Structure 1
Amino acid sequence: MSFSGEIKRELEKKTFVPNSKRAFLRDAFLETGSMSNPEKGYHLEFVCEDEAHAAKLIETMQAFEIAAKRVQRKRYTVVYIKESEDIVRLLNVMGAHNCLMNLENLRILKDMRNSINRRVNCETANISKTVSAANKQIEDIQYIKEHYGFDDLSENLREMARIRLEYPDATLKELGEYLVPPVGKSGVNHRLRKLSELADSIKGKG
């Protein structure tokens, strides 16, 4: 059964004071309302045959602080809600509490998936950036080795160059731990930057 069908089945069991705002919204949804699959997107609408009915729907929902908009679709005026918070509020007003809970659970799962995806994308970007930086460092050191040699390097830079080539996949923290004595990440970064500047200088002279 569609999400719209589930809402209507639940609303059919609800009773409100006749002619009340809640009853009006419930009856309107049963007659002309529908909601898209919330897993794909949030969209709830009423298809009204005249402007007056659409205006009354919007006014009634505003009384419950629910923001709705309208659009003309052929000869019908469609009143719709796009924000999930407003849809949740409307379901509560109409008494579709089971569907409300289902929607809230879907929202939580969706937010969790989005959060995980953002984190994975961020970590992937960081890994890619780290790998690119490591490759550049290794290329620079290889260039120094082939066009300048290590003999004239300071002991710190010579050891740094050797460790970087020996452990191409190591992080800055790990590289620092391989040095004797150990050096922090900032120290490792400083030495690698010096090697990179030297490689650029040699290339400039060439």
Structure 2
Amino acid sequence: MSFSGEVKKELAKRMNPARHCQIAELAALMNFCGAYGRSGGESGGKAGYTLGFQTENEAVARKGFTLLKKTYNIDTDRILDEEELQGLFTKLGSPEEPVSPLLIKNSCCRRAFLRGAFLAIGSMSNPTKAYHLEFDCTDERKAWQLQEAIRSFEIESKIILRKKYHVVYLKEGSGIVNLLNVCEAPVSLMNLENMRILKEMRGAVNRRVNCEAANIAKTVTAAARQVEDIEFLRIHYGFQNLPEPLRRMAEIRLEYPDAPLKELGERFDPPLGKSGVNHRLRRLSELAEKARL
């Protein structure tokens, strides 16, 4: 199962005991993926309307029907007449409009609303590859409402138009973690945090390895250039013409062509610091440049 599927599985099991929060979550499910069908009364059956949820996730559909039963005592096989359907729309809001602000005025109800919205139209990428969570809205006003609900918890999201959808999305790992906390998905939150830590550790190790590799390459290149300059001086200038400190430096570098500056300094008596070694090697390179002119 995908990470997104795991999140929905956890959220589908979460049942808030407060009825007003149950209504807010149901309103999100009905508003974003509710399905309304007309029953013609074939074979003597009752004519009216049926309710359902347009989703491929069975857990989401079960959650929706459970909320319908708990909040308005509507069974899965119940046929509603037009008055009952309009009464439900009055309570939950028309599916053509954003959810009534009165249903989500409390912080706890906005949590439930966002949980229902994610179950209905939310998705999330695999955190090991990228941080991305989104809600695909068919109505721009509903996208704005979702963004505002998310912002009320001090979480920033953005909206883009993708084909026929107004997509509310988050791309920051910290924001996604906070949203999972708001929706009350602690297990998924901890799994995501563990993945983030592992990903950041790997990134830090890779950066350090790359940095050390770059430093090694830089050191090797510098040492090769120093040896080349010293060899040029030995042939075209003569070590006997060098001041004693530079002559000794040239001899030690030729003897230890791959050694770092600190190790070269330890070959002197008394030992020489890195800055001293670097200064003498630079002087030798400058002499070599003049000798080449």
TM tier relative to shorter chain: over 0.9
SS at match of 1:133: helix
Q: Offset of 1:43 from its aligned partner?
A: 0.7
Q: Offset of 1:51 from its aligned partner?
A: 1.7
Equivalent AA in structure 2 for residue 148 of structure 1: Y
Question: What is the CA–CA distance in structure 2 between the aligned matches of 1:22 and 1:179, rounded to whole Å?
Answer: 70
Question: What is the CA–CA distance in structure 1 between the aligned matches of 2:143 and 2:258, rounded to whole Å?
Answer: 64
Superposed CA deviations along residues 170-205 of structure 1, whole A, max 9, x for unmatched, are 11111111123322222212221121111111111x
In the TM superposition, 1:1-206 aligns within 5 A as 1-16=1-16, 17-18=21-22, 19=24, 20-204=109-293
Question: What is the CA–CA distance in structure 2 between the aligned matches of 1:7 and 1:98, rounded to whole Å?
Answer: 8
SS at match of 2:272: coil
The number of aligned residues is 204
TM-score by length of 2: 0.67
Structure 1 window deviating more from structure 2 (159-168 vs 173-182): it is: 173-182
Superposed CA deviations along residues 51-82 of structure 1, whole A, max 9, x for unmatched, are 22212111111111121111112222111111
Aligned-residue Cα RMSD (Å) equals: 1.2
Does structure 2 retain, via aligned residues, the 8 Å contact 1:15–1:23? no
Q: Offset of 1:131 from its aligned partner?
A: 1.0
Equivalent AA in structure 1 for residue 11 of structure 2: L
Question: What is the CA–CA distance in structure 2 between the aligned matches of 1:100 and 1:27, rounded to whole Å?
Answer: 17
Equivalent AA in structure 1 for residue 2 of structure 2: S
SS at match of 1:196: helix
Question: What is the CA–CA distance in structure 2 between the aligned matches of 1:124 and 1:191, rounded to whole Å?
Answer: 26
Equivalent AA in structure 1 for residue 216 of structure 2: I
SS at match of 1:70: strand
Query: Could you list the runs of 4 or more consecutive aligned residues of structure 1 that deviate by over 3 angstroms after TM superposition?
Result: none
SS at match of 1:178: coil
Percent identity between matched residues is 62
Equivalent AA in structure 2 for residue 8 of structure 1: K
Superposed CA deviations along residues 130-187 of structure 1, whole A, max 9, x for unmatched, are 1111111100000011111111212222111111101101111111111233222222
Equivalent AA in structure 2 for residue 121 of structure 1: N
Equivalent AA in structure 2 for residue 152 of structure 1: N
Structure 1 window deviating more from structure 2 (30-39 vs 154-163): it is: 154-163
Structure 1: give runs of 5+ residues left out of the alignment. Answer: none
Whose radius of gyration is greater, 1 or 2?
Answer: 2
Question: What is the CA–CA distance in structure 2 between the aligned matches of 1:131 and 1:69, rounded to whole Å?
Answer: 48
